Structure 1
Amino acid sequence: MRPSRLVLAFCLGCLASAAASGAAPTRMPALIPMPARVELGGGRVAVDPARLRAEGAEAERVAAFFSDLLRRSGQADAAPGAGATITFTLAPAADGPREGYRLHADAAGVRVEAATEAGLFYGAVTLWQLLDAEGRMPAVAIEDAPRFAWRGLMLDSARHLQSVEEIKSLLDAMALHKLNVFHWHLTDDQGWRIEIRRYPRLTEVGGCRIPAGDGGRDPATGTPRPYCGWYTQDQVREVVAYASARHITVVPEIEMPGHAQAAVAAYPALGSVAGPTAVSSDWGVHPYLFNVEEETLAFLENVLAEVIELFPGRYIHVGGDEAFKRQWENSPAVQARMRALGVEDETALQSWFMARIERFLVAHERRLIGWDEILEGGLPAEATVMSWRGTEGGIEAAEQGHDVVMAPSSELYLDYLQTDLPGEPPGRPSIIDLQQVYAFEPVPAALSAAEARHIVGVQANTWTEHLRSFDRVQHAMFPRAAALAEVAWSPKDERDFAAFRARLPAQLERYRALGLGYAHTPFSVRVEVDDRDADAARVRLSNPLGFEDIRYTLDGSAPDADSRRYTGAFDLAPPAELRAAVFDQGSPLAPPVARRIDAASRLRRDEEHLAMCSDSLTLRLEDDGPADGPRAIFNVDIFDPCWEWKDAPLAEARAVRVRAGRIPYYFQLAQDEGNRRVRPAATEHGELQLHAGCDGPELARIALPAGPAADGFATLETALPAGTGSGDLCLFFTGDTRPTIWVLDRVELVPGR
């Protein structure tokens, strides 16, 4: 069974017959990812979920999974009387791809057939999506198989740990998106999260760090409070088995030669510099590298031997990224080792290092995969490249005859923010929205047909520096994982974002039925208020995904499907309590947003409604306290902490009042350190300076206190010079205040000229 192009082919005779009988034509089902070929018949088929027939042990396992999925989504008892039977059939002799399947439903019953259990499993997922709440589905014939063999999702458990149950829930979600590779990032500078029995200090020491600031202190005693956690080998086996039952391969990542600080903290002799270190509480790029002595290589091989026993999949990910060579350059021992090996420079040394590790993996019937930096200095013979710094590394590797998984940070890093709306949680700079994920094409046009065959798949990565809770992990992943799934599974030429968007509301219903967390922000309302005129505010509403049915109220009541529909920008006379939500077929897609528009809001801006002056490296950062529970969130450009209020009504104000917070500066920037802009301070603790525009004259400055008040904030107020006219207001803090940094929380103009 070889899938053809996606054919949204309706059975015209069936439709004509349905029309003659007065039945409504069946519309295309909201499947994600869309199958390779769909042919719709006329009418709908009533299915009895209790009437399952499975032929063979593999089919019985799939039927049991399907039955449990119906139970978990509340559809197990949806049969309208005597419905049709569902039959799962394994047909090993069938011609077709390993993960392909056929699904056929008509009045005689529903049949799912595949050559392998994996294909049958994916057919069951499609069948589940086809069934409605009443146990009915369209008459349909589907012939389907994935475009790529590697359909991956990566989770970083090194920076913040997730429980085994949370990992399992993620694997469940992956299976329902037909994603089949779980890349598990288990070691890094901030934590070693996998038990290695031969080296217990890797978890006893490397599995704990003291978080920066108040988060690392006991609120009652002020003593250090470590953040600890790791997975036992029994827990790892449990996760691997759970994934395997869902036809997901777990690919572990053990970082080397860089991102090694947690390991070096546990066993200092592994490092390239003398002396002990601690597990890092900072984010960013760290200098620690494993040395290249035989004892260290033997250590890494012993670690990998235990990893191989735990993970039966073909691939072991060994990192290889961001291994900046300063420690190797400054180490006499490393330099002597290079001379003994006849290696000319540190880049070639990393290539030698990876080739040595690859030989060990190949001898144990495993295959090395690493980030695209492993290309530098020469690629090991059988290595696979995961291209994250754009697609260029993937192109180079494919041209050399190596397999490639495309995972560029510019399109597929899910810890980047999804929208520019205020409701986004902490995250990394810039925005990767749903449209951008969906538009990514894994096979570059620059490759020949033979080279293109080396693009074995595509993967999205979720780093967790700023994702302290599993709720935030889910927000980052979903619904962007749905877009990834369609990129990875569906035929290239048939991808259409407008059609995908139309199917998303049904996907959200599935998420809710299974209790899967997802981001509401893509389905929320962007509110833009032009309040330069004190007597009339101009309001514009929009949705990041382009959903057009926006309903709103102005009296503070919750909007519903009968509320006023937004048709274009409108004026209102303050005060007003605006509430707005996006609707689809009469149902809201996200909770309503609320915005108070009055005289006070006109003279106040929270940090999320201010612009960054240069936007060099803007992050959405969380405060360090309280130790437990919700924390304040700030937008800050860590390269140039400077905020701008455009068109501020300064002429109406006699003073400016600022609420500023202070958070730890927990970043290591390696070669980017020189890009930080530090404005000179004139007083001991620096100042808050106010300028008329970022390049304009100084309006005022306020000396900063030694620290914030007990609540973590400082309130600063200064008079404006007489004659100050309205215009852009620029605010920044002077001085290098590390290990902390001041951030802006709120700016208020004090009226009364």
Structure 2
Amino acid sequence: MGRFSLWVLVFALVFVEFLVGIRCGNVEDVKVWPLPYSVSHGHKNMYMSGDFKFSSHGSKYSDASGIFKDGFSRFIELLNVSHVVDGNVSKYDNSSILVGLNVVILTDHDELQYGVDESYRLSVPSPEKPAYAQIEAQTVYGALHALQTLSQICQFNFTSRIIEVPMTPWTISDKPRFPFRGLLIDTSRHYQPVSVIKSVIDSMAYSKLNVLHWHIVDTQSFPLEIPSYPKLWDGAYSDSERYTMTDAAEIVSYARKRGINVLAEIDVPGHASSWGVGYPSLWPSNDCQQPLDISNEFTFKVIDGILSDFRKVFKFKFVHLGGDEVNTSCWKTTSHVSKWLKKQGISESEAYQYFVLKVQKIALAHGYELVNWEETFNNFGEKLNQKTVVHNWLGSSVAENVVKAGLRCIVSNQDKWYLDHLDTQWQQFYLNEPLTHITESSQQKLVIGGEVCMWGETVDTSDIQETIWPRAAAAAERMWTPYDKLANDTTRVTGRLAHFRCLLNQRGIAAAPVAADGRGTPSEPDSCFKQ
């Protein structure tokens, strides 16, 4: 090949690369969190009509429950939350005005359960006449995710004082990496009002987390009404720091409308001394109050009553039964329990297994599948029901061992995904990989996802959001975005995460600065985007 021909080839390749760059843009330009599965964009601006509305031409979804209509109303509110939109869009050429949104949802049912299809395709055209954005999704929950993405693409134009969609045309195809993407909140160590829980749910939806793990009760307090055993909530901190079952149903409904399941937990047999405030016979003795009295059949009747009442409100496939940090010394040192153990011919460790497996059977009878903390697997894994999901929080190799045993697993290893560990920075949250050392495809599928845990010892309404965010968002991208699209170098995503943190602030979520440890505050005056 001659020198001239070689230069022509080089120029052609560079020109093609330039054109591809115009069409696809750069990932660094995409200010969407979590990063979608596939993104392309251009370089032209569109402007949203003042009466931007949605239609559903070609959709099979009737929206009888109003889930999408409510979601669209929230989307419009998000666009208007930061600034007053008082500009006049009519001064722009009609071809640059985004008239509305057409939504095509391909299934009519809107039951929210584990494994629901959350995929979507979002497209925003370049200037054309008339111009409509388009969402295509299998379910309404995928369509809700598309609205969240679209809300992050849109921005307020300070010159025109209207909402613009920059860098059109956009084409985004998206789906989650894991079906279970959770956040735990703890309402026993500190009571969280219903309004605060709803705010947490809103913030979860912004980052596409889809399971609120509600650690409702613990040693310190029992704030939830249980109609079958009404004295249980005598263990609440005060009369005002309680939840009625109607409150619980409202939280579940509020979460469902945002595509979020509520995983309810009762942690037994340990972490349960608050139960005995109303029913002292649940304690082995007044002086030794937990684990719950295994020798008393009333203990299991109460658990059955709780799960019966749960089933009327908490419709998620799973219930969390705890099972962690069980110190069986009370059973040994309490006379009547010790005698029962001898009569049964079992040791304290065998009694621990007996208790967990019996409660599993009760939960199964109520139609639940089961989640237990990892100690249950570590102590008697092969005995657990095959419908058990093991919740890892201690050992780094537990998930690997769980899936080798053929059980499912949720990853929450405390050194990386515990939000109460204030010295754990967002970079560690981002880089924590649930599938570490799990290479077999069949075993990888048994890791159903992960969860960040906001234990409540040092959080109440004053600091819960700034302790959760933005570190939970770092984990949310790990759980949503395809592995090959995740950054190995966190400096590549720092700017995008800072942008998302500022977006949370604009939406009223008190997310801490990206540069802070834990729930830190700004160190000096500067732009939100540089903190």
Q: With structure 1 as the length reference, what TM-score do the two structures score?
A: 0.59
The one-letter amino acid paired with 1:393 is V
What is the 5 A alignment of 1:68-467? 68-74=74-80, 77=85, 80-81=89-90, 83-84=97-98, 85-92=100-107, 98-107=117-126, 108-134=131-157, 135-137=163-165, 138=167, 139-204=169-234, 206-208=235-237, 229-272=241-284, 274-275=285-286, 288-343=291-346, 345-375=347-377, 376-378=379-381, 379-381=383-385, 382-417=387-422, 431-446=423-438, 448-467=440-459
Secondary structure at the counterpart of residue 258 of structure 1: coil
Shift in Å, 1:291: 2.5
Shift in Å, 1:14: 7.3
In structure 2, stretches of 5+ residues that fail to align are 1-15, 109-114, 158-162
Preserved contact between residue 159 and residue 190 of structure 1 (Cα < 8 Å): yes
Secondary structure at the counterpart of residue 312 of structure 1: coil
Shift in Å, 1:174: 0.5
Secondary structure at the counterpart of residue 286 of structure 2: coil
The one-letter amino acid paired with 2:367 is E
What is the 5 A alignment of 1:431-580? 431-446=423-438, 448-467=440-459, 469-496=460-487, 497-520=490-513, 522-523=514-515, 580=524
Separation of aligned partners in 2, 1:308 and 1:164:
20
Separation of aligned partners in 1, 2:268 and 2:191:
20
Deviations 1:346-366 (A, max 9, x none): 222222212111112112211
The one-letter amino acid paired with 1:482 is A
Preserved contact between residue 249 and residue 313 of structure 1 (Cα < 8 Å): yes
Q: Which has the higher contact order (CA 8 A, sep 6+)?
A: 2
Report how many aligned residue pairs link the two structures: 478
Shift in Å, 1:524: 5.7
Separation of aligned partners in 2, 1:406 and 1:523:
25
Cα separation, partners in 2 of 1:160 and 1:73, compared to 1, 3 Å: farther
Separation of aligned partners in 2, 1:199 and 1:257:
17
Shift in Å, 1:25: 9.3
Deviations 1:493-514 (A, max 9, x none): 2212223211123213311221
Preserved contact between residue 52 and residue 63 of structure 1 (Cα < 8 Å): no
Shift in Å, 1:334: 2.9
Shift in Å, 1:261: 1.0
Shift in Å, 1:389: 0.6
Shift in Å, 1:180: 0.5
Separation of aligned partners in 2, 1:118 and 1:509:
25
Task: Name the counterpart of 2:5.
Answer: none
Shift in Å, 1:323: 0.8
Computed over aligned residues only, the root mean square deviation of the Cα atoms, in angstroms, reads 2.9
Separation of aligned partners in 2, 1:145 and 1:294:
47
Cα separation, partners in 2 of 1:17 and 1:298, compared to 1, 3 Å: closer
Preserved contact between residue 387 and residue 394 of structure 1 (Cα < 8 Å): yes
Separation of aligned partners in 2, 1:268 and 1:61:
44
Q: Indicate yes or no: 2:73 matched with 1:67.
A: yes
Deviations 1:663-685 (A, max 9, x none): xxxxxxxxxxxxxxxxxxxxxxx
What is the 5 A alignment of 1:667-706? none
Shift in Å, 1:91: 2.2
Cα separation, partners in 2 of 1:433 and 1:25, compared to 1, 3 Å: closer
Shift in Å, 1:188: 0.7
Deviations 1:413-457 (A, max 9, x none): 10121xxxxxxxxxxxxx110000001001121453222211001
Separation of aligned partners in 1, 2:116 and 2:456:
35
Preserved contact between residue 46 and residue 79 of structure 1 (Cα < 8 Å): no
Cα separation, partners in 2 of 1:394 and 1:293, compared to 1, 3 Å: farther
Preserved contact between residue 23 and residue 42 of structure 2 (Cα < 8 Å): no
Preserved contact between residue 292 and residue 299 of structure 2 (Cα < 8 Å): no
Preserved contact between residue 458 and residue 488 of structure 1 (Cα < 8 Å): yes
In structure 1, stretches of 5+ residues that fail to align are 1-9, 19-23, 209-225, 278-285, 418-430, 526-543, 551-578, 591-753
Looking at secondary structure, tell me which structure has more strand per residue: 1
Shift in Å, 1:338: 3.2
Q: Which range moved further: 97-106 or 110-119?
A: 97-106
Secondary structure at the counterpart of residue 213 of structure 2: strand
Preserved contact between residue 190 and residue 261 of structure 1 (Cα < 8 Å): yes
Preserved contact between residue 121 and residue 174 of structure 2 (Cα < 8 Å): yes
Q: With structure 2 as the length reference, what TM-score do the two structures score?
A: 0.83
Cα separation, partners in 2 of 1:297 and 1:491, compared to 1, 3 Å: same
Secondary structure at the counterpart of residue 300 of structure 2: helix
Shift in Å, 1:301: 0.9
Preserved contact between residue 73 and residue 514 of structure 1 (Cα < 8 Å): no
Separation of aligned partners in 1, 2:88 and 2:281:
65
Moved over 6 A (4+): 24-27
Separation of aligned partners in 2, 1:437 and 1:125:
22
Q: Which range moved further: 261-270 or 36-45?
A: 36-45
Secondary structure at the counterpart of residue 267 of structure 2: strand
Separation of aligned partners in 1, 2:28 and 2:401:
44
Cα separation, partners in 2 of 1:332 and 1:154, compared to 1, 3 Å: same
Secondary structure at the counterpart of residue 348 of structure 1: helix
The one-letter amino acid paired with 1:62 is F
Q: Which range moved further: 258-267 or 163-172?
A: 258-267
Deviations 1:47-106 (A, max 9, x none): 33633223243396325423323324426847733521221111239xx98110001111
The one-letter amino acid paired with 1:489 is W
Deviations 1:363-389 (A, max 9, x none): 221112111111112442121111011
Cα separation, partners in 2 of 1:15 and 1:299, compared to 1, 3 Å: closer
Separation of aligned partners in 2, 1:409 and 1:122:
28
Looking at secondary structure, tell me which structure has more helix per residue: 2
